[in-house]
């Protein structure tokens, strides 16, 4: 058996994000294989065997890798459309376009989305994919393969929709599945791709899209399926005031009570957005340990509102950060969400007491790992945990004069990533991917975006909507699904 190889990182500021928020002004960290072996103040101990690399990280902050808890990769090829719309009008505009995606488009969009996140410090990503047009190919498989190519730890939330236009929903009829078809395809995806191991690179979650686009039967049976298979559950929840009205009119209760009635609250569940929640809703999430994916940029882009993150945290609700789809967050980066989470929440009721820089960093690391059910494995820098970590260069014009390194990372300009490690393997060096050709990815995503636009007649420059042809905004009385 080959001896484990070690990488030693020294002379770095370290923010562990452990239970005590331990930090070292100048410290070291030792990677052995795919695990963190040790870390602490000062230089690494003498006598370490099989050291294959030493990194002088002077001027750098080392943190856990960022964890993205909500995303829609396919939207990478529809960025820049319907940019001045609220959620409802944005969805009406874009659904006819999204209903035309196929495997080459989704594969390119997944690679583009993952690459952008990885080069910005994300080591664990997720994708909530719920659009499966008839005859579109193996969309789940191509997304999983893209994550493997990029070297990013990954959760695919296998989404589904069975409430289409003919049923009073928003998606076109040919873009949804039947109840039985969705459940069978989801189970097959778990069987093919889910890995429950401690150091798994791929996991699968069961993820019907939202109350607007799925039947009550699909929610109930999806929850039962997930628990029978031992996987997590994900959906959109309480994103807009329209959702609250929809649930009361159709089900006689608000979204949180509706989710609880269908088995969708619990420590194995996390929901995206959770913007419009009252005290009773927050208490229910806290009681059941239901997690939240907070997406501040997307919520602002679509004017959905400000989630009550300080109240969620005070109640003990697990909260992570999400990019959300890049059609509602064109940057596609999670590290900018650290800053935006802090700033946007300070516009809420708690004002300057809402969040600190360190709380924002925790949301993007350990909080995300909690939400994805991986806090025992990643999300903090501790011996025995997986070696998923980032070296941020703070020895730059933009950061060098900021007194505190965590503040520099969260409130300063986007910090360059000198190195990013996933499972002990370096995937980024000096801001560039080591696992893919970024220029080739840019060409591929542009080609597929133009191909989709040619099929659907969309354009980013026509009129105020940025949409033409089949994706033109029309009057609709249907309620929106989650974005």
Q: What is the pLDDT of residues 396-435, one digit of tens each?
A: 999 999 999 999 999 999 999 999 999 999 999 999 999 9
Segment among 5-19, 73-87, 301-315, 341-355 with least mean pLDDT: 73-87
For residue 343, pLDDT over 60 is answered with: yes
- Residue 54 pairs in a beta bridge with 8
Q: What is the mean pLDDT of residues 22-35?
A: 98
Domain ranges of the chain: 6-64+389-433, 66-371
Instruction: Return the minimum-mean-pLDDT range out of 70-74, 265-269, 324-328, 457-461.
Output: 457-461
Residue with tokens 């009057």: 475
Q: What is the pLDDT of residue 257?
A: 98
Question: Per the structure block, which two tokens stand in for 98?
Answer: 């999204």
Residue pair 152/422 in contact by the 8 Å Cβ criterion: yes
Q: Write out pLDDT tens, residues 83-138.
A: 898 777 777 788 889 989 999 999 999 999 999 999 999 999 999 999 999 899 99
Dist. CA 123–CA 64, nearest whole Å: 9
For residue 457, the Cα-to-chain-centroid distance in whole angstroms is 29
At 194 the pLDDT is 98
Tokens found for residue 116: 């952008």
Calculated CA dihedral for residues 233, 249, 483, 349, nearest 10 degrees: -90
Q: Residue 258 in contact with residue 238, Cβ under 8 Å? A: no
CATH architecture of 66-371: Alpha-Beta Barrel (3.20)
Give me the mean pLDDT over the 244-249 stretch.
91
Q: What is the dihedral of CA 76, 77, 82, 87, to 10 degrees?
A: -40
The span from the CA of 275 to the CA of 295, in Å, is 9
pLDDT value at 468 more than 90: no
pLDDT classification of 459: cutoffs 50, 70, 90: low
289 in helix, strand or coil?
Answer: coil
Q: Are strands 319-321 and 291-294 parallel, antiparallel or unpaired?
A: parallel
What's the rounded Cα separation, in Å, for the pair 380 and 376? 9
- Say what the pTM is: 0.93
The tens digit of pLDDT for each residue in 263-311 reads 999 999 999 999 999 999 999 999 999 999 999 999 999 999 999 999 9
Q: Are 302 and 328 in contact (CB under 8 A)?
A: yes
Nearest alpha carbon to residue 131 among 143, 120, 121, 119: 143
CB of 429 closer than 8 Å to CB of 160: no
Average pLDDT score over the chain: 92
Which candidate, 75, 85, 251, 67, places its Cα nearest to that of 159? 75
Residue 483: the pLDDT is 45
Fold designation for 6-64+389-433:
Urease, subunit C; domain 1 (2.30.40)
- Residue of 294 and 461 predicted with greater confidence: 294
List phi, psi (to 5°) of 176: -110, 170
Question: Rounded to whole angstroms, how far apart are CA atoms 453 and 451?
Answer: 5
Distance of CA 106 to the CA centre of its chain: 17
456: helix, strand or coil: helix
Residue 168: which region, alpha, beta or left (left: phi > 0; alpha: psi -120 to 50)? Answer: left
How confident is the model over 123-165, as pLDDT tens digits? 999 999 999 998 999 999 999 999 999 999 999 999 999 988 8
Q: What is the pLDDT of residue 108?
A: 98
Task: Compute CA 345 distance to the chain's CA centroid, rounded to the nearest angstrom.
Answer: 19
């Amino acid at each position: 058996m080959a001896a484990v190889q070690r990488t030693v990182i020294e002379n770095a500021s370290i923010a562990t994000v452990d239970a005590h928020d331990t930090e070292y002004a100048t410290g070291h960290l030792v990677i052995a294989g795919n695990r963190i072996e040790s870390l602490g103040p000062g230089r690494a101990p003498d006598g370490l065997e099989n050291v294959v690399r030493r990194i002088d990280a002077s001027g750098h902050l080392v943190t856990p890798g960022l964890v993205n808890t909500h995303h829609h990769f396919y939207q990478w090829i529809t960025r820049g459309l319907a940019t001045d719309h609220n959620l409802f009008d944005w969805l009406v505009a874009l659904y006819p376009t999204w209903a035309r995606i196929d495997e080459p488009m989704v594969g390119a969009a997944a690679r583009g989305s993952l690459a952008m996140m990885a080069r910005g410090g994300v080591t664990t990503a997720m994708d909530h994919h719920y659009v499966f047009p008839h005859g579109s190919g193996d969309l789940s498989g191509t997304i999983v393969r893209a994550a493997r190519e990029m070297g990013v730890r990954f959760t695919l939330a296998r989404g589904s929709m069975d409430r289409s236009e003919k049923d009073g929903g928003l998606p076109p009829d040919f873009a949804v599945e039947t109840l039985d078809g969705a459940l069978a395809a989801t189970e097959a995806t778990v069987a093919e791709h889910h890995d429950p191991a401690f150091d798994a690179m791929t996991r699968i979650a069961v993820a019907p899209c939202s109350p607007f686009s799925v039947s009550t039967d699909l929610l109930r049976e999806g929850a039962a399926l997930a628990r029978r298979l031992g996987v997590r559950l994900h959906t959109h929840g309480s994103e807009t005031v329209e959702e609250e009205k929809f649930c009361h009119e159709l089900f006689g209760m608000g979204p949180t009570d509706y989710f609880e009635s269908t088995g969708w609250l619990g420590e194995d569940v996390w929901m995206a957005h959770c913007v419009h929640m009252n005290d009773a809703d927050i208490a229910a999430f806290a009681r059941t340990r239901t997690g939240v994916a907070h997406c501040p940029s997307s919520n602002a882009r679509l004017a959905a509102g400000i989630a009550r993150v300080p109240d969620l945290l005070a109640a003990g609700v697990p909260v992570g950060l999400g990019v959300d789809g890049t059609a509602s967050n064109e940057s596609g980066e999670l590290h900018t969400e650290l800053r935006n989470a802090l700033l946007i929440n300070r516009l809420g009721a708690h004002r300057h007491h809402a969040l600190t820089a360190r709380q924002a960093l925790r949301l993007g690391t350990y909080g995300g790992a909690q939400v994805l059910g991986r806090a025992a494995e990643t999300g903090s820098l501790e011996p025995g945990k997986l070696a998923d970590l980032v070296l941020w260069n703070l020895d730059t014009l933009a950061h060098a004069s900021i007194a505190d390194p965590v503040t520099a990372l969260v409130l300063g300009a986007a910090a360059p990533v000198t190195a990013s490690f996933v499972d002990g393997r370096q995937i980024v060096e000096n801001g560039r991917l080591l696992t893919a050709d970024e220029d080739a990815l840019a060409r591929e995503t542009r080609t597929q975006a133009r191909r989709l636009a040619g099929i659907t007649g969309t354009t980013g420059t026509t009129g105020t909507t940025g949409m033409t042809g089949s994706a033109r905004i029309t009057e609709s009385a249907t309620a929106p699904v989650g974005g």
